[in-house]
Amino acid sequence: MPAAFNIYDLYKIMFDNKIILIYQGVFDQEMIKSVISMTEKKLIQDNTDENLRKKLFNIMVEGLQNICKHQLDIDSTENNPFLIISSDVDSFDVVTGNLIANDKIGIVKEKIDYVNSLNKDELKEYYKKARLNSVISSVGGAGLGFIDMVRKSGNPLEYKFYDLGTDFSFFIQKTKVGNSN
Amino acid sequence: MNIELPKKIHEQMVSHQFVVSIMGNLNQEFLKSIIKITDAKLSKLDVDTTMKNRIFHFMVECTQNLCKIEDEDQFSNNSLFLIGKNEEDYSVFLGSIFSKSDTDTIIDLIDKVNSFDSQDVKDKFYDEISVNENSKKNQMLLSLLSISKRTKGKIKFDTFSIDSVNNFLSFKIIISNNK
């Protein structure tokens, strides 16, 4: 570990960006339960509106299940997925990051761009169709998670793929959850 | 939050070889889950039970005793917990916000505990338990003695001033298979 590591720099980044939780490591059902339970307590303590809490939990569950389903079975530090939750005045950002095989990027990008382009009614229709057809893609899902996140948050999904120079890239996805939507 | 920021945080985690990083209010319930997850992660890395127990003991002492001496405040008792791997050693960090007066007291106590050899640490630990004094200072000393006794190493620390009344204080232990 480099000697110059300064734990306070990291803490300060988190504090300044109002990050209330960061978890990097193994994700499983047990961890999802723990993270949600811990977040719930924190939000109740902060008197966060119940409606906003529910929305946030829905988005968290979708994001964490995506990580659980798609995390690659390559266990090393640099491949660890992560979850970051930050809070603002009346909204939260839920950010997940995980490795993705380069050949899956196209289909994921296409799904997100498509759901981002739809309005509320179109999303509802598309959700119904996707559920009925429920075509499980090679990425592991029918894209229902993405549709659900856009519907429940009322905001488009932000994403970025970082090329790692290998067969894999790092996929970061952010959902803003606010009370206004 | 700018979407570029999570990648920067992740890169920092990767460059320092952190195998587990958690920031949040490490209350008792969450701590139990974190220990389970850390256990699973360390098992995958073939860390033996003795080393794992030392790491868990450090986490419990820091979060349940040392950090508990602070009241709820604007920082909402946020603690940062990190485990870094360096060849066969594990560096375990736990940082949190403390008032300046508590920081001074803790640092004095750490210096005192670090000046003891392992037999002194044991003797002092049992002496302090038998005193049965429930003061804040006694509680902190007991925790530090307990950490030193179980981890068999010196307790390292860093402090950073946040404002006129608060510091960020981080505890660090290095646990290796050789001990």
Taking the Cβ of residue A15 and every Cβ of chain B, the question of whether any pair is shorter than 8 Å is answered with yes
Are the Cβ atoms of B1 and A162 closer than 8 angstroms?
no
Asked if A22's CB is within 8 angstroms of B23's CB, the reply is yes
Instruction: Measure in Å the smallest separation between the Cα of A125 and chain B Cα atoms.
Output: 29
Residue A101 has pLDDT above 80, yes or no: yes
d(CA A83, CA B1): 13
B169 has a pLDDT exceeding 70: yes
- What residue ranges in chain B does DSSP mark as E strands? 18-25, 78-86, 89-99, 156-161, 166-176
- From the centroid of its chain, how far is CA B122? 20
The A residues from 83 to 142 touching B (CB cutoff 8 Å) are 84, 86, 93, 95, 97
Report, as an integer, the average pLDDT of A102-113. 93
Q: Mean pLDDT, chain A, as a whole number?
A: 83
How far apart CA A174 and CA A85 sit, in angstroms, is 10
Of the ranges A28-32, A73-77, B80-84, B165-169, which one carries the lowest mean pLDDT score? A73-77
Q: Tokens 């889950």 label which residue?
A: B33
- Residues B123 and B149 sit within 8 Å (Cβ to Cβ): no
Mean pLDDT on B144-157: 90
Q: How many CB atoms lie within 10 A of CB B174?
A: 16
- Tell me what ipTM this predicted complex has: 0.80
In B, residues 62-91, which contact A (CB 8 Å cutoff)? 75-76, 78, 80, 82, 84-86, 91
Report CA-CA distances (Å) from A116 to B5, B21, B92, B165: 22, 32, 42, 47
- B174 in contact with A, Cβ within 8 Å: no
Chain A hits for B32, Cβ within 8 Å? 34
Put simply, whether B21 touches A (Cβ < 8 Å) is yes
Residue B139 touches partner A, C-beta closer than 8 Å: no
Q: Considering only B36-45, B134-143, B149-158, which range has the smallest mean pLDDT? A: B36-45
pLDDT above 70 as % of chain B: 90
Q: By the 8 A CB rule, do B165 and B100 touch?
A: yes
DSSP single-letter state for residue B30 = H
Q: What does the pLDDT read at residue A73?
A: 60
In tens, the pLDDT along A46-93 reads 788 899 999 999 999 888 888 877 666 655 556 678 889 998 888 999
Which residues numbered 26-45 in A keep a CB inside 8 Å of some CB on B?
26, 28, 30-31, 33-35, 37-38, 41-42, 45
Give contacts of A46 with chain B, Cβ < 8 Å. 76
Residue A107 has pLDDT above 80, yes or no: yes
Q: What is the pLDDT of residue B179?
A: 53
pLDDT tens-digit map of B41-83? 787 777 888 888 888 888 888 877 777 655 555 445 578 888 8
φ, ψ dihedrals at B57, nearest 5°? -60, -45
Q: How far is A132 from chain B (nearest CA, A)?
A: 33
The predicted structure's pLDDT at residue A75: 52
pLDDT digits (tens, 9 = 90+) for A154-175: 999 999 999 989 998 999 999 9
pLDDT in tens, B9-23: 888 877 878 877 777
Mean pLDDT of B86-115: 90
Looking at residue B74, its pLDDT comes to 47
Q: What is the domain partition of chain B in residue ranges?
A: 4-176
Domains and CATH numbers, chain A: 7-178 (3.30.565.10)
> What pLDDT is attached to residue B116?
95
> Is residue B34 within 8 Å of B81, Cβ to Cβ?
yes
**Nearest residue on chain B to A73, judged by CA atoms?**
B44
pLDDT-derived band at B8, boundaries 50, 70, 90: confident
CB contact under 8 A, B4 and A1: no
Exposed/middle/buried for A154, CB within 10 Å: 0-12, 13-18, 19+? middle
Q: Is there a contact between B6 and A159 if contact means CB atoms under 8 Å apart?
A: no
